């Protein structure tokens, strides 16, 4: 491979990485916007005002804690079956979509100086029966970018569905 070809390859890798970073920024923005809709679900299900729900939301500092609260509130006897199922469907989708966001926000990035390839190294310890696994490596490639694009589309649809739920059940907005 000529030095010109190597330079072109590195430029393309840099362009791909720049696109990835832009998409990651959009993913974080979209995620934060969608997660904040849990405030309205907390307010509606706990039968409180939005201001109180904001305090509760901010006190719980993880997505998991916030979705767990919403799920538990939806399981109270006073919540009808149809409303409960609608809320649980939304929280399942939130949990599912949080995986991709967490993957790229809780990793380090590796740049191969020879090939120009970019990878992520997951910052997580996976306990197995007789061993642990650390540092799962994933190539940052077209499939990665397609996955983030799909996740953004899924977040947009989820956002609309949560707003419909808020309106259907008259939660504080």
Give domain limits for the chain.
3-169
Give the pLDDT score at 42.
98
Strand partners of residue 118 = 111
Neighbours of 68 (CB within 10 A): 14
Q: How many CB atoms lie within 10 A of CB 119?
A: 16
Token pair 């079956």 is found at 81
Q: pTM score > 0.75 for this model?
A: yes
Mean pLDDT within 142-158 = 91
CB 46, CB 71: distance < 8 Å: no
In terms of pLDDT, which residue wins out, 132 or 62? 62
User: E strand or H helix at 126, and its extent?
Assistant: strand 125-127
Flag whether pLDDT at 107 surpasses 90.
no
Give the integer Cα–Cα distance in Å for 120 and 139: 6
CA dihedral 167, 97, 105, 33 (to 10 degrees): -10
Per-residue pLDDT, averaged over 80-109, amounts to 92
Of residues 24 and 122, more confidently modeled: 24
The token duo for 62 is: 């993880």
Where helices occur in the chain by DSSP H, the ranges are 3-35, 38-46, 50-59, 63-74, 81-105, 142-169
75-87 mean pLDDT:
98
When the pLDDT of each residue in the chain is averaged and rounded to a whole number, the result is 88
Q: Which of 6-10, 35-39, 154-158 has the lowest mean pLDDT?
A: 6-10
**Which pLDDT value is given to residue 56?**
98
Q: What percent of the chain has pLDDT over 90?
A: 58
């Amino acid at each position: 491979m000529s030095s010109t070809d190597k330079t072109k390859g590195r430029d393309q890798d840099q362009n791909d990485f720049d696109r990835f970073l832009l998409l990651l920024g959009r993913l974080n923005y979209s995620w934060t916007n969608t997660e904040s809709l849990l405030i309205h679900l907390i307010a509606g299900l706990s039968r409180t005002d939005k201001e109180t729900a904001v305090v509760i939301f901010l006190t719980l500092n993880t997505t998991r804690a916030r979705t767990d609260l919403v799920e538990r509130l939806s399981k109270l006897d006073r919540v009808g079956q149809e409303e409960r199922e609608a809320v649980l469907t939304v929280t399942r989708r939130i949990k599912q979509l949080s995986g991709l966001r967490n993957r790229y926000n809780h990793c380090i990035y590796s740049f191969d100086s020879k090939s120009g390839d970019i990878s992520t190294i997951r910052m997580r310890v996976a306990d197995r029966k007789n061993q642990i696994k650390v540092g799962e490596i994933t190539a940052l490639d077209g499939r990665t970018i397609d996955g983030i694009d799909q996740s953004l589309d899924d977040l947009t649809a989820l956002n609309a569905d949560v707003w419909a739920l808020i309106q259907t059940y008259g939660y504080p907005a």
